[in-house]
Amino acid sequence: MGRPFARDDTNGNPRAKKEKSEFGTGAAMKAMLAEVPCAEATVFVLIDRSDWASSVLKNVSEFAVPYGVSLFNVEPEGEDVNATHKQLLRFMADGVQLQKELHCVTVVVVSEDPVFLAAFAESAFRSHLLQVQTTRLLTFTRLPLHRLHSLHHLHKTLSRTNSLIAINNAPFRIVVYYMLPFSHPDTRPLRVAIWTAARGLLLTSSTQLFINKFLKYPHGPHLLVTGEELPAQRAIMVDDPTTPGGQRLTFRGPMDDVMRVVSKHMNLTYSYMRAEDRTWGGLQSDGSWTGMLGLVMNEEVEFALGPFGMTPDRNYWMDYTQYLTLTGYRVLAARGSPEVDPWGFLQPFSSLVWAAVVTALLAEITVMLILPSCLPTHTQHIARRWAKGFSCVRVLLQQGNANIFRWLF
């Protein structure tokens, strides 16, 4: 029974094999990127050899990416690993800047150099470019799996991020794997797809390429979690002969109850550790983090047990879970004892406004007292004149229409 891909007709020609390998990588890349739908998508392609550029661009340029494709060529400068790190960190900085604007970034790395792949993984850790769940990583290489297992930083990056690795083990055949989350480097990855020139991309494990591998862990890893005390949650030490010192830190409270439910449904075990400064954590001016969030950013723990308030810095650098509760905060102050101010009616207006009101009132009263004198004598009545004049005062003070001048006569 024949293989479901085109036969190798290179006759041992290294150059022909290299060209077919580049063609296969570019075509497989195009097919895999088509499986990453997103309205605000951009693709970063990172290569360590300039001769990859033409094949990659030829295939990727045909794929419609809403926000374009960026190609970065980071060629190692001899044996100077530090120079390679500097170039990669510059690339990561550009990626982080774009990540602030877009929410669907796919990073594609094409390399056959284990040193370069290890340097990329370490640089990705320093920049936190891949920490956001919506950022995807595709790694194309011809290195066999046993060579990749020896790259500790690469395995750690591939297992703890939304990543896939595509191994080109034949000119027209590429096998796609994903690393089990928080797995040991010797753990064999799971195959999710196969690309061949004859049949294209065939998914083997699900209906989508990038599956959510963080829903449930099949191998039951043990994770470190950081927590802190709350009014309804306290830290205690319990006897545990399996731990150094014979005691183990744990918490008692509602968040620990949530952690127990999470560990049961995600098939994991966990243990706690606390930050030295006993704080929740925040971003410092030098770019470092303190408290529990500092342990998360330095990857000393896998995640932090909240509840955490959402801030722009935290939301940018870290992934929140779905919220469990919504809490409102209010500032309360004493009212004080009531005091009666007889001149309180003057407070709504300023002194200038009151002066204008009084001036207008006096002018109106004067007019209403003077105008009746122009009428015949028998029609004039002093009480009516004064009543009409002081009606202006009554209206201003919002008083009733009682005959207050009856006592004058």
**What are the backbone angles phi and psi of residue 382, rounded to the nearest 5°?**
-60, -40
pLDDT tens per residue, range 270-305? 999 999 888 898 888 888 889 999 898 888 888 888
DSSP per-residue codes, 318-385: S-----S-----------------TTGGGTTS-HHHHHHHHHHHHHHHHHHHHGGGGS-GGG--HHHH
- What is the strand order of the sheet 269-273 is part of? 269-273, 222-226, 303-304
What share of the chain in percent tops pLDDT 70? Answer: 74
Report the C-alpha gap between 155 and 3 in whole angstroms.
Answer: 30
Query: What count of other Cβ atoms lies within 10 Å of the Cβ of residue 181?
Result: 21
The stretch 188-198 carries a mean pLDDT of: 86
Assign a CATH topology to domain 14-203. Rossmann fold (3.40.50)
**pLDDT number for residue 409:** 43
Whole-number average pLDDT of the chain: 77
**Predicted confidence (pLDDT) at residue 386 exceeds the cutoff of 70:** no
In words, the CATH class of domain 222-317 is alpha beta
Beta carbons within 10 angstroms of residue 43's beta carbon: 22
Q: How many CB atoms lie within 10 A of CB 22?
A: 22
- For residue 407, pLDDT beyond 50: no
Q: How far apart are CA 258 and CA 295, in angstroms?
A: 20
CA–CA dist 81, 86 (Å, integer): 9
Least confident of 79-93, 205-219, 256-270, 290-304: 79-93
Closest CA to 173 of 191, 151, 155, 149: 191
Tokens of 134: 């919506």
Residue with tokens 């065939």: 202
As a whole number of angstroms, the distance between CA 293 and CA 301 comes to: 9
Kindly tell me if the per-residue pLDDT of 408 is higher than 50.
no
Q: Does 403 or 266 have the greater pLDDT score?
A: 266
Residues 129-187: tens digit of each pLDDT:
776 677 888 888 888 887 777 777 788 888 888 888 888 877 778 888 888 888 887 78
What does the pLDDT read at residue 37? 66
Report pLDDT for 292. Answer: 92
Residue 226 has what pLDDT? Answer: 92
Lowest mean pLDDT, pick from 89-93, 118-122, 150-154, 383-387: 383-387
Task: Write the CB contacts of 196 (distance below 8 Å, at least 6 apart in sequence).
Answer: 4, 5, 6, 172, 173, 174, 202
